[in-house]
Structure 1
Amino acid sequence: MFKSRVDEVLSRFVAHEADQLLAIDADLGPVAEQVEVAVAHGKRLRAAFCYWGWRAAGQPDSDALVRAAASMELVHAAAVVHDDIIDDSPLRHGRPTAHVALRAALRRRPRATTAARSLAMLVGDLLMSLAGQLFATSGLPAAYLARARPLWAALARELIAGECLELLRTGAEPDTAESLKVIRYKTAKYTVEQPLLIGGALAGAGQRLREGYSCYGLPLGEAFQLRDDLLGLFGDPALTGKTNMDDLRAHRPTTLLAETWRLADEAEREQLRTLLGRRDLGEDGLEAVRAVMSRLKAPDRIEQMIGARVEEATRALDDMDIPAHASRALTGLALSAAVRRH
């Protein structure tokens, strides 16, 4: 099973790196633990898209490619740790986030909360560095790796641009076009398109196939994040592992909120203004926002946007000249990305 292969690569690689930290000083134990925790969970979709970017170009299964693909999950782990710090999210996968968990190591220190956030930031930085290390030492020929190197720079640039855009637009009047731009750069590209393109570059894919990957990957990546927007507010925390209030308390520029705002009248907008961005927002406030969204059928609108993007992605897949097994796998991944409960 592909996921178990990626899990094994990540577990061994990160355990070794954690041991290297501990060899420097035993006091680094809490940091080493968070490095390992960061990669302990995940659907491994980014690794899967990289893998099938390789296979769809006609290349055979390869353990070295699986190692290279697993590096995409370290990029994701780094992004998650940093995102949780920025959003001050308390939970991830039902466990305390890194900056929360690290407070325990500093509980007798002055300014422990600030120091824990700093430690978590460094954990995220290390994970991003480890992503590059795993990719470079995957065992693939140097010439293959060189073909993908420019895409790594683009991936990092676009991911950081998306995160910055979200911060710059948090608290502003919601706008659907702007929110879609944020999710395209913050999530869609590094979740689907860039892993596909990196796998294709490693395989020596031609321009037409690479263009097909983008036509498939961009709308599907947006559908993935639109589903996250819905789950963030209407999902079951027991399944998502996160609280339903994060997006509202942070007043994040989600497309769900933007569509709600677009459909709302002035009285409904005034009600939203009194609730969004409140750090003390409770269950009553959450239910009030949900009620407005449901009354305006904003969740239905997001479902339609998801469906349209999945359809666009699968149409692009139909236009690609790729092996049948790769087409089947990418069709299945499209459903896994967009139709899920966590």
Structure 2
Amino acid sequence: MHDHTGFKVRIDEVLVRLADEEEAALLGLHVELSPLSEQLRRSLARGKRIRAAFLYWGWRAAGQPDCEGVIRAAAAMELVHAAACTHDDIIDDSRMRHGQLTAHAAFAASGQRSTALAMILGDLLMGYAGHVFTSCGLPGAYLARTGPLWSALLRETMAGEFLEVLRTDAPARPLQVAESLEVARYKTAKYTVERPLHLGATLGGGSRALMDAFTAYGLPLGEAFQLRDDLLGTFGDPAETGKSNLDDLRDGKPTALLALTAAAVDEDDRRLLAKHVGNPELGEEEAAAVRELMERCGARQRVESMIGERIARAAGALDAVPMPAEARSALRGLADTAARRTI
């Protein structure tokens, strides 16, 4: 069985080396860039390394052996994630992530122009992602196969973020569950699961059948991952999750949880939702009333059911194509880790 802890250590080592190298390079340009190098290091110091694991096991599922080149390529996925989180935290004005100040909040605490500096950090992280991937040490012919996929990953991630912004706290029309899942698919499912698997498999020369199986596995699992994130964003314990359980409600995030609630309640309760959800001053008492409503109307349990359905669909997709037993076992384990987590 795959040791994810050991894998995470290897990814962390790549990212620490990158932070060391880039700190020296940035400070070599100018000493006043030290806050940027410090936040770069902090952005790379945390995470479950799930996206890196999916790229790695996409490679192994294609029949390729473990090697340092694919570890470095996999680490690039964590840079994409760090960049996306940095920009996402700016958009949402989220103050905490993994129990620490987000980049723009940390810049603000130091009396600096928080949004502008955090945007620069996010752009820098995305640029480093491409550099780490293309300089990973795997043969150039392997890397050349991934060009269209790399572009698709970035395009889809930005599209999901854009759609979420458009649909956040938009009172003009009722939010639909299908629209929420569409945001989840582009913002999370593809760049978290499907595209890392595709990149790994493509690097490794995987078959078209393997790619199709990874889509059938990755999209439902990625949606389950986001649905779990939505539940944690409203019902999670900040002491465990490391982030606020008020932000999604204050922002009026277009989650399936919210869409299901709005569709299931009567007019009086819908007015309560309209009053509290999307209110930037929402407090704990009002949030508790919204959570109680989500429980009472069955929306929370329905989201749990949707997660279970998607995990089952993802697990079944792995049986549709031949792959090494170790890869199949690891991917089944990752499915459970990704969608049943508490942080």
Q: Same fold per TM (> 0.5)?
A: yes
Which residue number in structure 1 is paired with residue 302 of structure 2? 301
Query: Does the alignment pair 1:39 with 2:37?
Result: no
Q: Quick one: which of 19, 22, 25 aligns to 1:20?
A: 25
| Alpha-carbon distance in 1 for matches of 2:125, 2:202 | 23
| Alpha-carbon distance in 1 for matches of 2:340, 2:245 | 19
Query: Does the alignment pair 1:95 with 2:93?
Result: no
| Alpha-carbon distance in 2 for matches of 1:15, 1:87 | 30
Which residue number in structure 1 is paired with residue 180 of structure 2? 179
Q: Give CA deviations for 1:51-97 in whole Å, capped at 9, x if unaligned.
A: 00000010000111000011000000000000000000011111111
| Alpha-carbon distance in 1 for matches of 2:145, 2:47 | 28
Q: Compared with structure 1, are the counterparts of its residues 104 and 29 closer, same or farther at alpha carbon in structure 2 (3 Å cutoff)?
A: farther
Which residue number in structure 1 is paired with residue 55 of structure 2? 50
The letter of the residue matching 1:129 is G
Which residue number in structure 2 is paired with residue 218 of structure 1? 219
| Alpha-carbon distance in 2 for matches of 1:116, 1:236 | 27
Which runs of 5 or more residues in structure 1 are unaligned? none
| Alpha-carbon distance in 2 for matches of 1:199, 1:128 | 19
Query: Does the alignment pair 1:61 with 2:66?
Result: yes
Query: Does the alignment pair 1:136 with 2:139?
Result: no
| Alpha-carbon distance in 2 for matches of 1:18, 1:297 | 50
Which residue number in structure 1 is paired with residue 331 of structure 2? 330
| Alpha-carbon distance in 2 for matches of 1:116, 1:331 | 41
| Alpha-carbon distance in 1 for matches of 2:107, 2:31 | 15
**C-alpha deviation, 1:104, in angstroms:** 3.5
Q: Give the 5 Å matches for 1:68-147.
A: 68-105=73-110, 107=111, 112=112, 115-147=113-145
User: Is the 1:31–1:102 Cα contact (8 Å) retained in structure 2?
Assistant: no
| Alpha-carbon distance in 2 for matches of 1:233, 1:103 | 26
Q: Give CA deviations for 1:278-315 in whole Å, capped at 9, x if unaligned.
A: 11111011101001001011110000000000000000
Query: Does the alignment pair 1:30 with 2:35?
Result: yes
Which residue number in structure 1 is paired with residue 3 of structure 2? none
Query: Does the alignment pair 1:231 with 2:232?
Result: yes
The letter of the residue matching 1:132 is G
Q: Give the 5 Å matches for 1:142-221.
A: 142-172=140-170, 173-221=174-222
The letter of the residue matching 1:293 is M
| Alpha-carbon distance in 2 for matches of 1:160, 1:135 | 19
**C-alpha deviation, 1:276, in angstroms:** 1.0
**C-alpha deviation, 1:185, in angstroms:** 0.2
The letter of the residue matching 1:140 is L
Query: Does the alignment pair 1:312 with 2:313?
Result: yes
| Alpha-carbon distance in 2 for matches of 1:12, 1:239 | 29
User: Is the 1:174–1:258 Cα contact (8 Å) retained in structure 2?
Assistant: yes
Bigger shift: 304-313 or 316-325? 316-325
Q: How many residues align?
A: 335
The letter of the residue matching 2:305 is Q
Q: Give the 5 Å matches for 1:276-287.
A: 276-287=277-288
**C-alpha deviation, 1:14, in angstroms:** 2.0
User: Is the 1:68–1:138 Cα contact (8 Å) retained in structure 2?
Assistant: yes
Q: Give CA deviations for 1:147-178 in whole Å, capped at 9, x if unaligned.
A: 11110100000000000000111112321000
| Alpha-carbon distance in 2 for matches of 1:82, 1:59 | 34
Q: Give the 5 Å matches for 1:238-317.
A: 238-317=239-318
RMSD, matched Cα = 0.8
| Alpha-carbon distance in 1 for matches of 2:58, 2:244 | 34
The letter of the residue matching 2:75 is A
TM-score scaled by structure 1? Answer: 0.97
The letter of the residue matching 2:22 is E
| Alpha-carbon distance in 2 for matches of 1:322, 1:49 | 14
User: Is the 1:188–1:224 Cα contact (8 Å) retained in structure 2?
Assistant: yes
